[in-house]
Amino acid sequence: MNTWNIDTTHSEIAFKVKHLMVSTVRGTFGAFEGTISTPDDTFNGSTITFSADANTVNTKSDQRDAHLKAPDFFDAEKFPKLTFASTSVKKTGDKLEVVGNLTMKGVTKPVTLSATFNGISKGMDGKRVAGFDVTGSINREDFGLTWNAAVETGGVVVSEIVNLEISIEAKEA
């Protein structure tokens, strides 16, 4: 098995969610780490572990970020980490299907993500790097992030569905 570590300076953990049902708010996590253990360079059959620091959520609004860290959402003081551990990674066509357990706010649920493997190259330090673009959607309410409010026009402030857009560069250990 080869081990690859996520290069946080060349990776991004991002999400987007509908606000007032008419616009999209984007956010990222500033501190995260992860590893990929793989039997070969196809990454089929890999094992992935990942964690993000809930206190580093950034939506470009200090007020919104403070609310996301509060008990209504991540409750970052009590649950400082979001974690993911794969249960299977398999090649399906030109994608990798990544299935695993996501834990937020103390709740663990299975999720399925789709990863595009962008290939392997040599980094500036001569070590091999692999790139991936990962997408998926989760229902935040499944994880106890249930705060919301109705708006006059008939919608809600925050959509239940959160879309994930993750760009990973991993360096071979």
Q: Where are the domains of the chain?
A: 2-172
- Written as six digits, the tokens of 8 are 């946080």
| Geometric angle at alpha carbon 104, from 66 and 90, rounded to 5° | 135
Mean pLDDT value of segment 80-85: 98
2-172 CATH fold: Lipocalin (2.40.128)
Predicted TM-score of the model (pTM): 0.94
User: Torsion angle, CA of 57/86/135/15, rounded to 10 degrees?
Assistant: -10
Q: What are phi and psi of 62, to 5 degrees?
A: -60, -40
> Whole-angstrom Cα distance, residue 66 to residue 50?
23
Torsion sign (Cα): 137, 141, 143, 146:
positive
pLDDT tens, position by position, 7-42: 999 999 999 999 888 899 999 999 999 999 999 999
Alpha helices in the chain (DSSP H): 62-69
